[in-house]
Amino acid sequence: MKCKILHESAGRIRVHLCCGRMSCAQADILEYYLLSKTGVIAVKVYERTGDAAVSYLCSREDVVGALAAFSYESAAKSVAVPERTGRAMDREYEEKLVMRVVWRGMKRIFLPAPVRIALAWLRAAGYIVKGLATLLRGKLEVPVLDATAITVSLLRGDYKTASSVMFLLGVGGLLEEWTHKRSVDDLAGAMSLGVERVWLRLGDGTEVLTPISEIVSGAQIVVRAGNLIPLDGKVVSGEAEVNQSSMTGEALAVRKSPGSYVYAGTAVETGECVVAVEKVSGEGRYDRIVKSIEESERLKSAVESRSEHLADSLVPWSLGATALVYLLTRNATKALSILMVDFSCALKLSMPLSVLSAMRESITHGVSVKGGRFLEAVAEADTIVFDKTGTLTHAEPRLVRVEPFGGRDEAEMLRLAACLEEHFPHTIANAVVRAAKERGLDHEERHSKVDYVVAHGIASEIDGEHAVIGSHHFVFEDEGCHIPAGEEARFDALPNEYSQLYLALDGELAAVILIEDPVRTEAADAIARLREQGFTQIVMMTGDSERTAAAVAKKLGLDDYRAEVLPEDKARFVREARAAGHTVLMVGDGINDSPALSEADIGVAISTGAAIAREIADVTVSEDDLFALVTLRELSTALMRRIRGNYCAIMSFNLALILLGVFGVLPPATGALLHNGSTVAIGLRSMTRLLEEKKEEGQC
């Protein structure tokens, strides 16, 4: 596309696209097209002027070449633009704000006084009706204050003050609505499913791992235990228990059978089902996230709820103070000054904005939080419980070798193991599948229905043979498998420093897969930092042997550990710790961690773990670094400081305005202006990043 360079400096260039008027959608396409280029670190597109500012680390020629090759049509096909970017919303509210200011100016210049007075009464009717409706519900809240202030001004003939108050209330309300909607929109857009590939069932019954972008309406996808349902649709076969807490807030799973409807973002706890896809755009998922954020009580922390209740409880005091000042001074202007200032607007705006902003900021650090009360709980937690595999140990365990038994072929055993394991996401399963892929071992679907036994293993039929793969307890005790005669010594000589996965066919051990599960390099330092931040009890829970668990606990400096535990053992430990008065944070990544995640005050899932763990958890952290937990703690404590700081600032500033009005220093209109201005300012400040601020907050 033809462009004109407007300005450039080292690492930055501003250009004008010679393409006529640019829409919001086109601006988004250009922005994400440029961001997709290697070396481009920041892009700002101005759709009104058709300009784009690009910051880059690559060569200037690369940026110019990318701009020259750009076209909306080709970029729209090759670049993934988020469903909502906020650009169109910003444009809408900017235009609304400008129109309000322009209309007010035009009224004052061109309309005669009688017409302006009539318009003031007409507009005041809306505020008066709203105030009366609040009174009829038996409540004394902010609309009553607003209606009283406007009515008193009009009855006194002070139309200028009444008009100014209504204008400021309108602008303040518009800004509050804009900032809140933008925060919710940004947060909802960030809470994407992250599902890239799904199991597509073909007409002949075979399954193919397919990119989700290639799934069309009517296609049939297979979803098994532990997996996320990626698209809306109807169950055509199979039965499953589906956790819909992300949509309904209910923790109990719902049984889905043929004919039942399932929704994107919910997760299969047990069973499996085939879903005929009906929605592929993701619109339904986005709308449900927004509804969940706006309506769910989980969004509100206890501090936030207390602030809202306090805001409403202060309204009667404001009305009483107004009446008292008038009785003592007989000065309506001084009494009116109290009505023009209230505490609730700023309290009700800044507190939720602080929470929404913290939730959005957490995403930039690789942490996704489902509600404000979980951030508050993280700030108060004193006990943290870790699952070992995939959490304290490396996110990507490595297959060391395969030991075949019974004269079987090593490559064939790995092929069979990968064929079974690829259906169930877990770090150990991923290691097996990855090793098979690295060795070029293709594993076509040769098995019948796959059954997953939580915390134990997988069972299926392969070429007529009963196949099981999993833990020692599952294979040898539950399934009753045996070691081939004469190979007991070789089995006993297997190294214990590796995790062992057992594969058996028709009751006989076929192979032992040795997995290296190294402790994360940052784990010890992260645990030390967590202890510095106030965690007094740090515990590890694992299904591994006592010897392995003890070695890991000693290396990481843990306070306690539990070895050879089942899912119900983890949940019981968390439940008992809470009963003892501790606030417990549980960190896990597997299906077997789900009961404990549900029992904890805060359940934290690792993003590469099972979908059901992410669904049940209150917080999801990146797999890259355990220091994300440290950041989560810092962010939570900073949020609590900000909420307390906002409370102090709001109460002190608005009280000062009231006193200045009562003593005649500030006229009512000026008090209203300063009050609304401070409300917006505190709201905007509440949207700033928490972890970049240097000064202490929360001091009155």
We report the CATH number of the domain holding residue 462 as: 3.40.1110.10
Give the pLDDT mean for 477-484: 90
Same domain for 111 and 11, yes or no, is no
The reply to whether 324 falls in a domain is yes
Higher-pLDDT residue of 14, 683: 14
Q: What are 618-651's pLDDT values in tens digits?
A: 888 876 678 999 999 999 999 988 888 888 888 8
pLDDT of residue 190: 52
For residues 183 and 330, membership in a common domain is answered with yes
The residue that leads in pLDDT, 187 or 584, is 584
Domain termination site, one of 81, 113, 141: 81
The answer, yes or no, to whether residue 299 has pLDDT greater than 50, is no
Residue 92: per-residue pLDDT: 87
Q: Given this model, what pLDDT does residue 253 score?
A: 75
Quick check: is 350 in a domain?
A: yes
Highest mean pLDDT among 15-29, 310-324, 392-406 belongs to: 15-29
**Residue 27 lies inside a defined structural domain of this protein:** yes
In a domain, 192, yes or no: no
Average pLDDT over residues 127-155: 84
Distance between CA atoms of residues 373 and 75, nearest Å? 41
Q: How confident is the model at residue 30 (pLDDT cuts 50, 70, 90)?
A: very high
Q: Among 253, 268, 293, which residue terminates a domain?
A: 293
Half-sphere exposure of 52 (CA within 13 A, CB side): 30
In the predicted structure, residue 693 carries a pLDDT above the cut 60: no
With respect to residue 548, please indicate whether it lies within any of the assigned structural domains: yes
Asked if 524 and 626 touch (Cβ cutoff 8 Å), the reply is no
Instruction: Identify the pLDDT of residue 695.
Output: 40
pLDDT band at 293 (very low <50, low <70, confident <90, very high): low
Q: How far apart are CA 337 and CA 660, in angstroms?
A: 9
Q: Is residue 166 domain-shared with residue 266, that is, in the same domain?
A: no
Using the predicted structure, report yes or no on whether residue 297 has a pLDDT greater than 50: no
Is 388 domain-assigned? yes
Confidence of residue 61 (pLDDT cuts 50, 70, 90): very high
pLDDT band per the 50, 70, 90 thresholds, residue 698: very low
**SS3 state of residue 228:** strand
Nearest-angstrom CA–CA distance, 512 and 176: 62
Q: Does residue 279 surpass a pLDDT of 80?
A: no
Residue pair 601/302 in contact (Cβ under 8 Å)? The answer is: no
What is the DSSP secondary-structure string of 471-487?
-HIIIIIIS--BPPTT-
Pick the residue with more confidence: 189 or 200?
A: 200
Range of the domain at 389: 367-393+519-623
296 pLDDT tier (thresholds 50, 70, 90): very low
Sign of the Cα torsion 295, 296, 298, 302 reads positive
C-alpha distance from residue 79 to each of 21, 68, 161, 346 (Å) = 21, 16, 52, 41
Residue-level pLDDT at 567: 80
**Nearest one of 275, 214, 188, 193 to 240, comparing CA atoms:** 275
The answer to whether the beta carbons of residues 525 and 555 sit under 8 Å apart is no
CATH code for position 26: 3.30.70.100
3-state SS of the chain: helix, strand, coil percent to 5?
A: 50, 20, 30
Segment 569-611, tens digit of pLDDT: 898 999 999 999 999 999 988 777 878 888 899 999 887 666 6
pLDDT for position 512: 94
Question: Domain of 263: which CATH number?
Answer: 2.70.150.10
The residue out of 623, 646, 670 marking a domain boundary is 623
Give this prediction's pTM.
Answer: 0.62
Q: How confident is the model at residue 700 (pLDDT cuts 50, 70, 90)?
A: very low
One domain for residues 402 and 334: no
Low-confidence winner among 337-351, 363-377, 515-529 (lowest mean pLDDT): 337-351
Co-location of 267 and 377 in the same domain: no
pLDDT at 351 over 60: yes
169 and 158 in a common domain: yes
Note whether 103 and 161 are same-domain residues.
Answer: yes
Q: Please, which residues have CB within 8 angstroms of residue 609's CB and are 6 or more apart in sequence?
A: 390, 425, 426, 427, 588, 589, 590, 593, 623
Average pLDDT over residues 260-277: 84
Q: Within this chain, do residues 329 and 181 fall inside the same structural domain, yes or no?
A: yes
> Is the same domain home to 285 and 304?
no
Q: Do 407 and 510 lie in a common domain?
A: yes
The mean per-residue pLDDT over the stretch 440-457 comes to 65
Alpha-helical runs (H) found in 40-112? 60-68, 72-78, 87-110
- Is 700 part of a structural domain of the chain? no
Verify that 507 and 526 share a domain, yes or no.
Answer: no
- Coil, strand or helix at 446: coil
> Is residue 549 domain-shared with residue 487, that is, in the same domain?
no
Residue 480 has pLDDT above 70, yes or no: yes
Number of domains in the chain: 5
Q: Residue 402: inside a domain, yes or no?
A: yes
Q: How much is the pLDDT for 343?
A: 67
pLDDT score at 403:
94
Q: What is the mean pLDDT of the chain?
A: 81
